[in-house]
A and B are shown apart, each in its own frame.
Chain A
Amino acid sequence: MASKRRGLPEINAGSMADIAFLLLIFFLVTTTMDVDTGISRKLPPMPEEDQPEDDSQINAKNIYVVLINSNNQLLVEGELMDISQLKEGAKRFINNNGVREDLSENPEKAIISLQNDRGTAYKTYIRVQNELASAYNELRNESALEKFGERFIDLNKSQQKEIKKLFPQKISEAEPKNIGGDS
C-alpha cells in the first residue's frame, strides 16, 4: 500500500550528463571537417634575365616528354598514347635502370617533361599530373616494401627521405606554347 502511494520513483538523471558527453565526444571524433585536398606542386622560379640556358647537358634519354594538345590527346616520347597507359609508361621509364637504351639510366636522373597547350582542358592536365604522381607513388611504395617491408606512408621520416632520394619526383614544365588556339 505504501509503494502505491509513492508511485514510480523519479528517474535518476545524474548519468544523463555522462551520456551527453559520450555523444559529444563521439561526434567530435567522427566528424571530419571540410578539409581542402589537392595536388601540391612547386613552380620553378622565374629565370634570371642574363642567365644562359644550360639544359643541354641532360642526356635526351633521361627525359620523358609528355605533350598534351588542345584536343586533350597525349603525345608521349613521340607516340600517341592513351591517358590510361601513361602511368605504366612512366613507371617503365623511371625504373628502367639502363636496361633499355632509349629509357632513363636510373630513377634519380629521370626527368618527366610535361608540356601542355593553352587549349588543353584543366581536367586532362590534372589527370596527367595525377597519373604521373601515381607512378612515382607506386614506385616508392614498391621500393619501400622491398627495403623495409612496409608501405611508404608507414615509414618514419628518415626512411621516407631515403626512398624519396632514390625516386625524386622530377616533373618539369616547359614554358607554355599556344599552338591549338585558346578558344
Chain B
Amino acid sequence: MSKFKKNGSKGMPAISTASLPDIVFMLLFFFMVTTVMRETTLFVSVVTPKATEIKKMEKKSLVSYVYIGSPVKRMQTSYGTAARIQLNDAFAEVSEIQEFIATEREAKDEKEIPYMTTSIKADETVKMGIITDVKQELRKANALKINYSTRKGTY
C-alpha cells in the first residue's frame, strides 16, 4: 500500500519544453514556405478550363496576368453579369491592355522583356469574342508570349 502512495504523491515528472522553440520554428517555416501571397483581389470569378497537355509556368516575376470572367456576386449590382477584363486591381476595357503591358515592361529589366509572358486567366464560360479582342491587343502591344491558364484534368 505504501508503494502506491509514494508513487501517487510524486506524480509525473514535468515534460521538458526545451524543444518547443523547435516545433514553433518548424511550423513557422512550414507556413512561410506554403503561403502564397495573393497580389490582387479578384473582382471576376474565374474557373479555368481543364486540359491535359499543360506546362508549368516558370519565372513568376515575369508573368503579367489578365483576368477575364463575369463579375463576382457583390459587384454584379454595379457591373452586371457580362464578362469583363480585370487588370491589376480594377476592371478594365480592352483598349487599356496596351497601356498595361507598357507599365509592366517599365518595371522590368530590359533584358528580361523578351521572356515576359502574359497569362490569360479566363473563366471557362466566357465567349471567344472577348479573348480574341485581348489577343489582338496583345499582338498590337507586341506581347506575343501568352499562356492560357488551365487546370489539370480530363474531360
Contact = CB atoms under 8 A, between A and B. Distances in A.
A24 B149 contact: no
A20 B23 CA distance: 6
Interface string A24-53: 100110010111111111111110000000
Contacts of B143: 43
A73 interface: no
Nearest to B53: A133
Given A38-B54, A38-B149, A41-B148, A120 B25 contact: no
A150 B77 CA distance: 56
B145 A122 contact: no
B13 A134 contact: no
Contacts of A99: none
A35 B152 CA distance: 11
Contacts of B155: 127
A145 interface: no
**Range of interface residues on A (Cβ < 8 Å):** 35 or more
Contact of B145 (A40, A44, A117, A125): A40
Given A31-B33, A122-B127, A130-B53, A13 B119 contact: no
Nearest to B124: A123
| Most chain B CB within a 10 A radius of its CB, from A13, A20, A34, A134 | A20
Contacts, number: 160
A45 B127 contact: no
Contacts of B10: 7
B49 A122 contact: yes
A123 B123 CA distance: 8
Contacts of A20: 19, 22-23, 25-26
17 contacts: A8-B12, A8-B13, A21-B26, A38-B48, A38-B119, A39-B51, A43-B138, A45-B139, A46-B139, A118-B127, A118-B129, A119-B127, A127-B49, A130-B51, A130-B53, A133-B53, A134-B52
Interface of B: 6, 10, 12-13, 15-16, 18-19, 22-23, 25-26, 29-30, 33-34, 36, 48-49, 51-57, 60, 63, 117, 119, 122-129, 131-132, 135-136, 138-140, 142-152, 155
